A and B are shown apart, each in its own frame.
Chain A
Amino acid sequence: MIETEGWHRTAQVEFPIVFVAWLLLMPLTPVDNLEAESAEREYVWTLNFGPQHPATHTTLRLVLTLDGERVLNAVPYIGYLHSGFEKLGEHLDFNQYVTIVDRMNYLSPLANEIAWHHAVEKLLNIELTPRCKYLRTILAELMRMHDHLLNLGTTALDLGGFTAFLYFFQQREHIYDIVEMASGQRFHTSYTRVGGVLFDVNTDWVNRVRKFIKEFPKVYDDVDRLLTKNRIFVDRTKGIGYLSPEDAINLGACGPVARASGIQRDLRRDEPYLAYEDLDFDVVCSKGGDCYSRYLVRMRELLESLKIIEQAIENIPSGPVNIAVDSDMVLPAKPSVYRSIEGLIQHFEVIMPNKGYEVPREQVYAATESPNGELGFFIVGNAETRAYRARTRPPSYLHFSMFPHLIKNHQLSDVVAVLGSINIIAAELDR
């Protein structure tokens, strides 16, 4: 465990005149008894934040009750992007649904695919090949970086720092290229399949990842220097949106949000899946519980992810990337489908709805550590190659439900800081 506490000690060296003036002008209201007090006030007003607002990034709406600039209450309204993903999951087979799963957390599409097929493979009792495990691990960690890069960048952007956003976005572009090289798609890759992935990767891809590993720390340092000790950034995030460890557990926080509150929980370490058992990494935690701690945890996780990728890419095993074709569950390679009758028949057997393989009439819950936290899928099998029920446990959903708790009694301008720090992805929220 790494403690991020104490990094910011040097941050507030001197007080600018503006800050002192603001302190003097700040109304000296006692913090206790706020609610009883506010009910009597007649000048409490309501502000509608969203559904279309640059700082919400996606479509979500907040109705804020304000006393001046202080937020007394916030009521989130969601569902603007609801498109019935879980219903669709009951009508598409295990391979088809991956295209829908992609579109949940669109900042890290591959992480969703890996989580979905992780659950499917647990239901079908498939043990992946070592190469596939390593490949998926590398991609999952690249996706974690992908997600954190955008989240950290836009958090800074919302708080007025444009440069960090551009620096990080350029790095995301390299990850897009790596993913495109593997899967043929930049964004919604639909790369994983039951028992493996769509295509294997080659040496060029490995070199590309190596190049990225080599170049990334420089940009990281730049952004670290831009933000971590930046007084404006620290002032806007430190002490804002405090989440105590007890509340974090009770409200169902997971991932970086929980770890920033001091909950030492990471599924990669606690319930190892894929190749995480063989790899050496630290679980980043902080005791702060505020927006700044969440920022620090995410920043350090970038480096931990890089460490994991570095180990995995050098130790990626050779051998097949898919499980054996005679298991009847995996799609055969395309050349064999086009050039041999056995391959064609196998392809048909897997694809056709009235054929397919044996699925146990059972139910299973399996979770992975997605960039945002525990992303779980609960699947009920009913002897068909599609799920009878495909439930997603979206981390954003639980994180957004604690938003009113986090924002209470903060300033209106802190809304964007808190929103950024819990990384709400509305497509995952609404499904």
Chain B
Amino acid sequence: MVELSVLQQKFGTELVESSFRDNRRVDVPAAKLFDLLSSLKSDHGFDMLIDLTAVDYLEYEGATDRFGVLYMLLNVTSGERLIVRTAVNMPDPKLPTVYSLWRSCDWLEREVFDMFGIVFEGHPDLRRILMPEEFTSFPLRKDYPLKGRGERHNFPVITRAGS
């Protein structure tokens, strides 16, 4: 099991550990995220990125940051899990990509970009993945309404005569 004190020695005391049920989590400032993740991969054997996702804390009571981004890591050999959390803020939410560490982040980062508008710098092909290319909003943000903003009604209608 990776000890927090070992990580704190390397990355400073800004690292905060917490746990809930069987989830173990480490909070890290965005500036140190990539170094921490690459150290976790190379030194502590977290060789699999299970999931990468984000949360919009806009309406969350007591939240200080706008977005939380989570990296769920797994050590395949020992079965140990660790969630690394970081925070990014408007108006320019961006993080470094982890494509050089885990290639599984390819589509996961694209989805977070598509849904939350968080830019992963250095990603080889950061395009929208689930929404159409011409879509302008980020649907999983809390300020985007459930029923949308009428994009579907404004789709151009292709008629047989016009095509």
- Of the candidates A90, A366, A378, the one whose C-beta lies within 8 Å of that of B53 is A378
Which residues on the A side are within 8 Å of B79 (C-beta)? 265, 270-271
Contacting pair A376 B50 (CB below 8 A): yes
Give the total of A residues in contact with B, Cβ under 8 Å.
46
- Of B5-13, B31-39, B129-137, the one contacting chain A is B129-137
- Of the candidates B56, B104, B108, B111, the one whose C-beta lies within 8 Å of that of A250 is B104
Contacting pair B103 A391 (CB below 8 A): no
What's the dominant secondary structure at chain A's contact region? Answer: mixed
A122 to B106, CA, bound (A): 29
- Of the candidates A87, A250, A364, the one whose C-beta lies within 8 Å of that of B146 is A87
Which residues on the B side are within 8 Å of A374 (C-beta)? 50
Contacting pair B55 A252 (CB below 8 A): no
Query: How close is B139's CB to chain A, nearest CB, in angstroms?
Result: 6
User: Given A84-B139, A378-B70: A249 and B47 within 8 A (CB)?
Assistant: yes
Contacting pair A249 B53 (CB below 8 A): no
Query: How close is A321's CB to chain B, nearest CB, in angstroms?
Result: 23
Which residues on the A side are within 8 Å of B72 (C-beta)? 365, 376, 378, 393
Contacting pair A78 B129 (CB below 8 A): yes
A115 to B55, CA, bound (A): 20
Contacting pair A376 B51 (CB below 8 A): yes
Give the total of B residues in contact with A, Cβ under 8 Å.
36
Interface residues of B in 98-145 (CB under 8 A from A): 102-104, 106-108, 111, 115, 128-132, 139-140
Which residues on the B side are within 8 Å of A402 (C-beta)? 104
Contacting pair B107 A398 (CB below 8 A): yes
Which residues on the A side are within 8 Å of B131 (C-beta)? 79, 82
Q: Which residue of B lies closest to A389 (CB)?
A: B55
Whether, in the assembled complex, A380 has its beta carbon less than 8 Å from a beta carbon of chain B, the answer is yes
Which residues on the A side are within 8 Å of B60 (C-beta)? 380, 382, 388
Contacting pair B140 A249 (CB below 8 A): no
A60 to B51, CA, bound (A): 22
Contacting pair A79 B51 (CB below 8 A): no
A254 to B76, CA, bound (A): 11
**Hey, what's the 0/1 contact readout for A248-265 against B, CB within 8 Å counting as 1?**
011110100000000101
Which residues on the B side are within 8 Å of A87 (C-beta)? 139-140, 146
Whether, in the assembled complex, A96 has its beta carbon less than 8 Å from a beta carbon of chain B, the answer is no
Contacting pair B51 A249 (CB below 8 A): no
Whether, in the assembled complex, B61 has its beta carbon less than 8 Å from a beta carbon of chain A, the answer is yes
A88 to B139, CA, bound (A): 11
User: Given A79-B130, A87-B146, A125-B21: A398 and B104 within 8 A (CB)?
Assistant: yes
User: Given A365-B23, A430-B130: A251 and B139 within 8 A (CB)?
Assistant: no
Contacting pair A251 B132 (CB below 8 A): no
A362 to B50, CA, bound (A): 20
Contacting pair A252 B140 (CB below 8 A): no
Whether, in the assembled complex, A229 has its beta carbon less than 8 Å from a beta carbon of chain B, the answer is no
Whether, in the assembled complex, A91 has its beta carbon less than 8 Å from a beta carbon of chain B, the answer is yes
Q: Which residue of B lies closest to A361 (CB)?
A: B61
Which residues on the B side are within 8 Å of A167 (C-beta)? none
Query: How close is A132's CB to chain B, nearest CB, in angstroms?
Result: 19
Which residues on the A side are within 8 Å of B56 (C-beta)? 389
Which residues on the B side are within 8 Å of A91 (C-beta)? 146
Contacting pair A79 B132 (CB below 8 A): yes
Q: Which residue of A lies closest to B79 (CB)?
A: A270
A107 to B50, CA, bound (A): 23
Query: How close is B133's CB to chain A, nearest CB, in angstroms?
Result: 10
Query: How close is B83's CB to chain A, nearest CB, in angstroms?
Result: 6
Interface residues of A in 346-367 (CB under 8 A from B): 360-367
A252 to B107, CA, bound (A): 11
Which residues on the B side are within 8 Å of A431 (C-beta)? 130
User: Given A250-B103, A365-B83, A398-B104: A78 and B130 within 8 A (CB)?
Assistant: yes
Query: How close is B150's CB to chain A, nearest CB, in angstroms?
Result: 15
Contacting pair A391 B20 (CB below 8 A): no
Whether, in the assembled complex, B84 has its beta carbon less than 8 Å from a beta carbon of chain A, the answer is no
A380 to B140, CA, bound (A): 14
Whether, in the assembled complex, A3 has its beta carbon less than 8 Å from a beta carbon of chain B, the answer is no
Which residues on the A side are within 8 Å of B76 (C-beta)? 249, 263, 265
Whether, in the assembled complex, A401 has its beta carbon less than 8 Å from a beta carbon of chain B, the answer is yes
Whether, in the assembled complex, A67 has its beta carbon less than 8 Å from a beta carbon of chain B, the answer is no
**Hey, what's the 0/1 contact readout for B19-62 against A, CB within 8 Å counting as 1?**
01111000000000000000000000001111101011001110
Contacting pair B103 A251 (CB below 8 A): yes
Which residues on the B side are within 8 Å of A378 (C-beta)? 51, 53, 70, 72
Contacting pair B51 A401 (CB below 8 A): no
Which residues on the A side are within 8 Å of B132 (C-beta)? 79
Which residues on the B side are within 8 Å of A271 (C-beta)? 79
Whether, in the assembled complex, A176 has its beta carbon less than 8 Å from a beta carbon of chain B, the answer is no
Which residues on the A side are within 8 Å of B128 (C-beta)? 79
Which residues on the B side are within 8 Å of A397 (C-beta)? 107-108, 111
A173 to B104, CA, bound (A): 36
- Of the candidates B20, B22, B51, the one whose C-beta lies within 8 Å of that of A362 is B20
**Hey, what's the 0/1 contact readout for B66-81 against A, CB within 8 Å counting as 1?**
0000101000100100
11 contacts between A and B (CB under 8 A): A87-B146, A249-B76, A250-B48, A252-B49, A361-B61, A364-B20, A365-B23, A376-B72, A382-B61, A389-B56, A397-B107
Shortest beta-carbon contacts, A-B, top 10: A252-B104, A401-B107, A79-B130, A82-B130, A393-B51, A391-B53, A389-B55, A362-B20, A270-B79, A251-B104
